[in-house]
Amino acid sequence: MKVTDHIKNAKKTLFSFEILPPLKGKSIESIYEGIDNLLEFDPKFIDVTYHRQEYVYKKHANGLLEKVSVRKRPGTVGICAAIKNKYNIDTVPHLICGGFTRDETENALIDLHFLGIHNVLLLRGDAIKTEKDFVPNPNGHNYALDLVKQVVNMNAGVYMDDDLVDVAHTNFCAGVAGYPEKHFEAPNFESDLKYLKAKVDAGADYIVTQLFFDNSKYFAFVDKCRAAGINVPIIPGLKPLTTKSQVKVLPSIFNIDIPFDLTEAINKCKDDKEAKIVGVEWGAAQAAELIKHNVPCLHFYTMGKGESTHNIAKLVY
């Protein structure tokens, strides 16, 4: 079922979460264990992130360096199909522009369509470590907006090769990312909102937000979206704090603020064990307030660590 249909049919705020594919060479069992721990909260969909190929320099015995490409976390489409098959829960693979030609994207969408996966989260992706700024594939997309247009075209039966006749129409429900505290590259909030609206006007069906720790930022974001004429569901993204150091690293990675009270509480913690408890308390308070405001769904970024998400969900569902 489409994410938007789950939302339409819901009588209360839904629960969903996002997982990362395991590192190359690792088994899928750890993914299943994480999902098993969260099944009691009846997740209506599970997102699986996509991780781009990176380049690393490998040192040989003779001292020479070789530039090799590595995909540390392959398998997004396969994991989505495996989860859907094992649990009969809808999955949402993340698709990114970076590293893909338009043809490769089309083929990935055809695979998903054949697998019966009809939800996708469409993203641009970030610059790889060896690039300063995001560089699209020469035959790929520049912005998530272009990916939305490609998906909408395929839903209308328009493929890259216009010689194709009697083609199957895909039936994708397309989610896109939104940033309550602005995307880090956007010169200002208003231009970021303009491009978010362009994604929705092009056919995106719903928005999932970047993580945030201050609900007032989410509420203000929703108000500004509505005022701008963005009327699709806006799903809040939540990440429980699990270590002391995250107070320092998350703001620069995700371009977000950590509220003063949360920072103070974390700084008082002796170790990560205590920080995790504070993270759950804060996350549960955030989740309870969001549920009170009838948000469509709480979407948790578990980052492979479902324990805190489980503890928060236990307190609010």
Residues that bind ligand FAD (CB under 6 A): 49-50, 52, 94, 96, 123-126, 143-145, 177, 183, 185-186, 191-192, 195, 208, 210, 237
- Which residue in 198, 196, 192, 226 sits closest to 208, CA to CA? 196
DSSP assignment of the chain:
--HHHHHHH-SS-EEEEEEPPPPTT--THHHHHHHHHHGGG--SEEEE-----EEEEEEPTTS-EEEEEE-SS--HHHHHHHHHHHH--EEEEEEESTT--HHHHHHHHHHHHHTT--EEEEE--PPPTT-SS----TTS-SSHHHHHHHHHHHHTT--S-TT--SPPP---EEEEEE-TT--TT-SSHHHHHHHHHHHHHTT--EEEEEE-S-HHHHHHHHHHHHHTT--S-EEEEE----STTHHHHHHHHHT----HHHHHHHHT-SSHHHHHHHHHHHHHHHHHHHHHTT-SEEEEE-TT-HHHHHHHHHHH-
The nearest distance, CB 305 to ligand FAD, in angstroms, is 17
CB 148 within 8 A of CB 197: no
Q: Which of 18, 40, 106, 181 is catalytic?
A: 18
The nearest distance, CB 71 to ligand FAD, in angstroms, is 12
CA distances from 10 to 33, 35, 42 (A): 26, 21, 12
CB 177 within 8 A of CB 195: no
Nearer to ligand FAD (CB atom), residue 123 or residue 234: 123
The nearest distance, CB 270 to ligand FAD, in angstroms, is 32
Question: Is 18 one of the annotated active-site residues of the chain?
Answer: yes
Nearer to ligand FAD (CB atom), residue 124 or residue 276: 124
The nearest distance, CB 92 to ligand FAD, in angstroms, is 10
Nearer to ligand FAD (CB atom), residue 111 or residue 281: 111
d(CA 313, CA 317): 6
Nearer to ligand FAD (CB atom), residue 96 or residue 265: 96
The nearest distance, CB 176 to ligand FAD, in angstroms, is 6
The nearest distance, CB 88 to ligand FAD, in angstroms, is 23
Nearer to ligand FAD (CB atom), residue 50 or residue 282: 50
Nearer to ligand FAD (CB atom), residue 82 or residue 186: 186
The residues annotated with a catalytic role in the active site are 18
